[in-house]
Every structure is written in structure tokens, then in C-alpha cells.
Amino acid sequence: MAYSIELFAREPIIFERERLLSAMRNRLGNVDSPEPKSEGATQMFLLNDHIAHFTDGSIPAQLVLLPASGGPDPDKYTEALQQSWSFRNAADVLATCGHSCLFSDMMSAALPQQTRRHILAQGLLAVLECLHIDAIYFVETQQFMSPAHLFAELNTPPQIANPTAGFLNVRFFNVANSPGDMVMDTLGLASFSLTDLQLHFHGLEPNDAARVLHATASYVFDRGDVIENGHTIQGRVPDERWSCRPEESLLEPKRPVLDINPGAPYAAGRRAA
């Protein structure tokens, strides 16, 4: 399944093939780009240093830029705008954008998650070097990010290897009809064939819960799905252990998650009994 990122701009988006190809080669090595059929058509980049192997053969992973018509429909992104923590004025910026395009990978789902994330991150940085973009929407994590913020994040040495930079969203919801209960989850791991996380709680500071989810998600991204039913993770402090078990997610999109139980007196829902 392709990993999709929507790009929005105030001004028309112009694809300059040679400039894009040069930026891709600078970041991803041996890259080819077939001549597009017409000006402004889809741009495809073949990543010859990143070969995906399938049962019926092998093929280079690919990145594509697809033109789109018009700007965004704000109603489509209402919830995502509320969960875009690093870009709080995204709604205001989005309202000024009348142009868009789609950035995506192809044929790379079979690659290790670290390799696929590297391809997407470096390809996106190459695009941001060449196109004037005002807002980025990560479809898989349902969050907006500022191009300047993301570019700075991904270009610092600690962040280049950080899988959460742009590719993970920790969401926060109050539970209706249950005062004080909260649910936080991650979006992003499932897109790399890993298991997202969920925390249903009360009495904890949301920032503390978010730090646990971020740290655990980074561990899962690096090591894979190695946390099993009954395993424990570190809570807010080194000597605090929170247990894990597989569940179906409480929140949409419905998917398998690793539910983290902070124990009494913080666990909410049926676990609290």
C-alpha cells in the first residue's frame, strides 16, 4: 500500500523535472526519472539503490509526485487540524492555499520499515527543496506539519534517525460520558506494518502519557513488533512498569493496537476493575 503525503501551496506548484531529479540524486543516490508525457504531468523517480524483492521479481522502489487540481476542502480535515500539535495555525494557512499535489511511494511496502521511512523522508526533503509548499498533510498519521518545522526536524542529525519526526502522531481525546477519562493513541506504525499503541487512562498528565507513547513507538519502529502480550514497558519514571496486551483500537481507524495499562489508580475502562 502506498504512503501518501498531500502538499498544499498558496501559489501554483510547478514541477521542474531536472531540479527535482538533482535533489533526489543528492539525497537518495542512483535515481532515474522517466521523461513525463507532458508538462506538469506526474513525475516518477526510480530509486535504483533501493530494490524491492517480490515473489515474481524485483523492482526499484519509486517515488511519485502527482499534480492535483485546486486547494483543500477544510471540512475534510477538521479532526486532523485539532490533532496537529506542532502546527497550531494550520487551519489559517490551509485557508489561503489554492493549489496542491500528492507525494507518494510505490513498490516499497516490502522494504524494511527503516528503509522505507528513509526513502520517504529524504524524498520529501528533496521535494521541499524544489517546491514552495505552505502546508504538509500526512494522510497516514492524519496530521498537518509546517514545511519549515519538518525540514528543520529532519535535517538535524538526531532527527534523521528518529522515526517519529513527521511519521508518527500521538492523538489525544477526552472520553464522552466518562468525566476524567482520556484516550491517547499513535497513528503511523500500522502504515509500516507495525502495531500502533493505545493508552486509556485517568489521573495522568497527558504530556507524561504522550512521552511514554513517543518513546515506545520509537522502540517499536526500531526493533519491530517485539512487545508481546504481558510484556511491560517503562512508564513515566525508570522504576514504573506498565503492562501491554493486544486489543482492537477504541478509536477510528479500527485496527489492532498494543494497549498499555498504567495500572491502578490510572487505568481506565474495564481494566480498572
In sequence order, which residues have a C-beta less than 8 Å from that of residue 180 and are 6 or more positions away? 202, 203
pLDDT tens-digit readout, 139-196 = 999 999 999 988 888 877 666 556 677 899 999 999 888 888 999 999 999 999 999 9
Residue 271's pLDDT is: 60
Q: What is the predicted pLDDT for the residue at 164? A: 74
Is residue 269 pLDDT above 90, yes or no? no
Chain centroid to CA 13: 23
Q: Residue 7: is its pLDDT beyond 50?
A: yes
Residue-level pLDDT at 72: 82
Phi, psi of 190 (to 5 degrees): -60, -30
- CA distances to 58, 104, 134, 145 from 68, in Å: 30, 13, 15, 19
Does 33 have pLDDT greater than 80?
Answer: yes
Does the pLDDT of residue 57 top 70, yes or no?
yes
Q: State pTM to two decimals.
A: 0.93
DSSP bridge pairs for 187: 169
Q: Would you say residue 219 has pLDDT above 80?
A: yes
Question: Quick one: pLDDT at residue 151?
Answer: 85
The yes-or-no verdict on residue 39 having pLDDT over 70 is: no
